[in-house]
Chains A and B, each alone.
Chain A
Amino acid sequence: MKLKLGSFIVLALLVVITGCSSKGDVKDGDVTIEDRGTGADDGAVASGAAGGTDFSSYSLDDPNSPLSRRVIYFEYDSAEITDADQELLIQHSGYLVANPGQHLTLEGNTDERGSREYNIGLGDQRALSVQRIMELNGVAPEQITVVSYGEEKPAAEGHSDAAWRLNRRVELVY
């Protein structure tokens, strides 16, 4: 619940940011502050979610930035994203919104079990789940490309649970 509210606020903020920056007359920072005030109904939750989350300050090259995490993992035959990964995707979304010229490719992958073209479909669904969250958080559709490799590009070799866990993934490729 907390997370959902949080993401809603972030979404709201980002919509405002994109809306304004396209007009080119208001600084991102001003809008963020102003909007935080208008979200008074949501009280503590709103300020908690927005507190210190200045997405545009993150660097893609900084290994300590949350943006350095660029792999989302999945359960078997599932395209559902965990709450923790939603948080990460919101941070990536913020970066993309702040950098509208930045492009991202979402590469969907699966483990080797089952038939190959079905796994292409499954990898596609995983990447689309990620894309949906990012677009809900204000990322422009043109900024994202989705490609599914199914089981064709395993990150880990081998035929064990450990390898399969690492292979059921979406990679965020900037």
Chain B
Amino acid sequence: MSRLVKLLLFVSVLIANPARAALTIEITQGIEGALPIAVVPFGWQGKAAAAPENIAAIITADLNRSGRFEALQDRDLVAHPSTAEQVKFQNWRMVNVDNLVIGQIKETSDGQYSVQFELFDVFRGKRLTGSTFPTGARDLRRVAHHISDLIYETLTGERGAFNTQIAYVTSRGSSKNRTYTLLVADSDGYSPQTILTSKQPLMSPSWSPDARQVAYVSFENKTSEIYIQDVATGSRRKLATFKGINGAPTWSPDGSKLALTLSRDGNPEIYVMNISDGALKRLTTSAAIDTEPVWAPDGKSVVFTSDRGGSAQLYRVSARGGPAQRLTFDGKYNAGADISPDGRKIAMVHGGGGRYRIAVLDLDSGLLRILTDGQLDESPSFSPNGSMIIYATGAGNREVLSAVSVDGRFKQRLSLQAGNVREPVWSPFGK
């Protein structure tokens, strides 16, 4: 009970370093039964008074953010061990934590560090895992997220998705003078990097399967065009500039093709383009709007939005073309699909009763479940481990990002300091 109440009290998790956080994350709905864990501040051996990053705080925030764990607050830590010899399990049993994380950071040479961590089962008094990572200062946060991934996987059996990124679009200003920005940030909202700024709309970012490139739509030439851009170098290539709509690019699972929407033949249709030579294959033929293609994980089919039946619904078509099969029947508006990494669930914008919310269709059971309770929720995107869905929602007069667990039980909000944030897409694990 107290755990739930504490989480429901809008715990701000990531306000420790607001200058570097474009997004702050607050947990808006907790889960009863989250696993109690203690993450002890890591020991520090180096010239400065403190380590350049608070690794334990990053891990604590990650684990809390997953909805699967509830980390002890610093003031409730009964001891501060940083080596296995210093751990007294009975101390931790008394405060009812199941697991304990300790570690230390050593400055091995100027600007070089060694980060070591260990994870224990408190009740069995057993070390479960641990490792040591050499790193430069720039990658300390990344190492912390990697440790969170290892802890998460050890304790839940499911791969962690903390060491991943999100791409998103922001807009600032009013109708006469708007600025659109495409950004990439760590999955906790830190280290945001602007990869493109424009006075004209930017839309529909999509990650390549190796998480190194992003495809997107830019109106910088007063018409829609599709680009692919290398995130690290910023170099980019214009891929589609046909007459009419060039929209909704998504990368095929093998990385060789884009599914996209073109209206060059009169109205919006789904096409597949070879990235290497630009060759096009048209997948749909209807007088209606066909758009928002997303690939099934096996690359064999594409799910898309069409209003061919009179209102926007989701359909599936073979990646080689052919007849489309309707997938959604509940409600008058189902659009903007994303397919879970295991291919068994489809997240979508579900309209009804004057509201637009995120729903998930379970393809095994055929059941549609509404996960969110906003008025204008849109752009759902699965985390690469399939456990969470990030999406855009209205908050007051602004657009912000939120995330919800796939079972709908756990919710959090990611707020930018100013402006509207939209179209979040969670990166793949990368290679």
Contact = CB atoms under 8 A, between A and B. Distances in A.
Interface of A: 77, 105, 112-118, 120-122, 124-125, 128, 145-150, 152-159
B188 interface: no
B11 to A, nearest CB: 28
Given A116-B204, A121-B245, A159-B376, A149 B291 contact: no
A168 to B, nearest CB: 15
**Interface SS of chain A: helix, strand, loop or mixed?**
mixed
Nearest to A123: B245
Nearest to A108: B245
A120 B307 CA distance: 13
B175 A154 contact: yes
Nearest to A161: B354
Nearest to B222: A147
A150 B2 CA distance: 46
B394 A117 contact: no
26 contacts: A113-B376, A114-B336, A114-B351, A115-B305, A115-B312, A115-B379, A116-B378, A116-B423, A117-B305, A118-B289, A118-B292, A118-B307, A120-B203, A120-B224, A120-B248, A120-B268, A121-B263, A121-B289, A125-B289, A148-B245, A149-B201, A150-B203, A153-B175, A157-B397, A159-B375, A159-B394
Contacts of A154: 175
B336 A113 contact: no
A117 B204 contact: yes
The contact size tier of chain B is 35 or more
Given A114-B336, A118-B292, A121-B263, 14 more contacts: A115-B349, A117-B204, A118-B291, A118-B305, A118-B307, A120-B245, A120-B261, A120-B291, A121-B291, A122-B289, A149-B219, A152-B201, A156-B175, A159-B376
A114 B222 contact: no
Nearest to B260: A117
A124 B263 contact: yes
B203 A117 contact: yes
Interface string B171-191: 000110010100000000000
Residue of A115, A120, A125, A150 contacting most chain B CB atoms (<10 Å): A115
Contact of A152 (B174, B203, B248, B289): B203
Contacts of B167: none
A76 B291 CA distance: 19
A170 B307 CA distance: 20
A128 B335 contact: no
Contact of B175 (A114, A120, A125, A155): A155
